[in-house]
Structure 1
Amino acid sequence: MTILVTGAAGFIGHALTRALMQRGQHVVGIDNLNPYYDPALKHARLANLATIQEGRFDFVELDFADHEPLEAALAPHDPSTIVHLGAQAGVRYSIDNPRAYVQSNLVGHLNLLEVARNRQVKQFVYASSSSVYGNSDTVPFSVDHRVDHPVSLYAATKKADELMSETYAHLYRIPMTGLRFFTVYGPWGRPDMALWKFTRAILQGQPIDVYNHGDMRRDFTYIDDIIAGVLAVIDHPPTDDGAMKPGGSISPHRIYNIGNNQPEPLGRMIDVIEAACGRPAIRNMLPMQPGDVYQTYADISAIQGELGYAPTTGIGIGIPRFVDWYRSYTGS
């Protein structure tokens, strides 16, 4: 079985491709290796995939927002499943660069939906985000809650992706699963995320910016727990039985939260990084940033009940693993 993974050189895409290959599967990976963050890390992830002896990996460098090169590149392949993880990420970046999000997250998503329709794939799995919940006061966040008030363009594009996917599931009966990821972290993570920034600054003796004066909470989810959930989704596509799915669809389209179901105060996260680094942080307290949210908190009962998803890694274990990897990767 061939699986198409977009964003294969990204954080989650790399980890998923690695896990699929270790199961002996053939992965066709797509990534445009854009400079949103240092492409050297993306190349390092690809080099890491080249060390895996199991499975097979065919990598194609292209922008999936350009449909003609996308279709030409996929002509030799026959994927049975698409896992669309590629996107322009980052809440704050979307404020200054909105067109990048429309092109990648809307046009690109549509292009992959068209591939799924034309190839008649068995299922289409795609990345949404916990950002769609905005500043909801109702916690934990449930996939059955309304999410009509995004506070960033990034979140708006992810909600739009869910709506487009619902349409394709309804019209073409393509089994679809949208995954709302909650603050993913771990080895090979992204340099634009707080964990990387804080770790680098603490090790270098530089101050860290702590927004909302530290009064924020995040449902930090370790990368291995995320991948366990994605693999379970791949192995169990939704059925087209007319029953209501998580998220409210009666088409073969469901939406799951994948989180740790345990929001942590930002201050505790920094405490754990300090302990792992062996030195204190210099905390620069600042007000809340535009587009940011106070807390994220995943209700995982849907994926837990249907697929047995059960995260096992708290930040007391996961953050030291990241710090160890970071020091090895950077030589810090």
Structure 2
Amino acid sequence: MTGQDRVPQRGGPCVVVAGGGTAGHIEPALALADAVMRLRPDARVIALGTERGLESKLVPARGYQLELIPPVPMPRKPTPDLLKLPLKVRDSVRRTREILDQYHADVVVGFGGYVSLPAYLAARGRVPIVVHEANAKAGLANKVGAKFAARVAAAVPDSGLADAEIIGIPLRQSITGLNRMALRAQARQYFGLHPHAPTLLVFGGSQGAQSLNKAVSGAASAFASAGIGVLHAHGPKNTLAVQSMAGGPAYVPVPYLERMDLAYAAADAVLCRSGAMTVAEVSAVGLPAVFVPLPIGNGEQALNAGPVVSAGGGLMIMDADLTPERVVRDVVPLMADRARLAAMSNATLGTGRREADEVLARMVLEVINK
């Protein structure tokens, strides 16, 4: 739902969250929104977004109001679009200021990405700003916002934001409160997995990852021979044909995981990318992980996974090195070693921060009260 025709109601504090584009920006914003509403049921939360981002689906589905602003994509290389950027920023900032005034915003909370930059510029000098950085390296938007923010929070130390308070990443309560063992039987039945076999969960983000798809599906016969089941989210735009071996645990391909809580509960370990949100969720639920960092950007995915790997909770395989042979050599033996999986699970749990949502919510409410 959008709020263009709504008349804002006065009452409790109004929190505007800006974190559009990818799930890595949107999910922490929504987890914060949930925590704010638990602490202040009279609060109002308005989310900023664009028509292009996942927020157009995720935000209304979680019951929050979405206000659309013009997108301001940041070109990675010099292009003709770069010349249009000042005009696009101006239009987006103007629309954002209208929204802040319309809803009498008390604070703007940004999580990075192209929605946050106009939010920070629109709020500067008008509405207090709180910045949260999820990645190991801060992006451009949060570097700008942090210069005039009332409070700055980060998931990990050394993100590049001075004086940031280290709190972890806000996560949904369905993840932080997940009892994997209690849900295991239900989860295995839900996905059609073997009820008792060691099971590997594979996913490469909301759109899937071709390199993960090829490497893991190419090792399907080895998994079956070792008595290992696989739940593999290959992405809605990809296809994955895997021939299961008779008598072996099922290899279950799915386009997308609507129920991540059940996917985590069904699994004994996970092979995945290492976006900040993914690392935080995997750590919170205590899943041993084989991280395959996305081989683009400024290397932040490898940095995101570093603390978990160093603690003994995960392995890291570079994308270029991920082949069916490498999966057979490293992942199949891991899945067959229950003692090693248990030790890794304990190590992973030690790196997670389950309370970040309420820590950030209290920080936001303190800024409003001041």
User: Do the two structures share a fold, i.e. TM-score over 0.5?
Assistant: no
TM-score of the two chains, using structure 2 as the length reference:
0.37
Rg larger for: 2
TM-score of the two chains, using structure 1 as the length reference:
0.40
- Compare relative contact order (CA 8 Å, sep 6+) and give the higher one, 1 or 2: 1
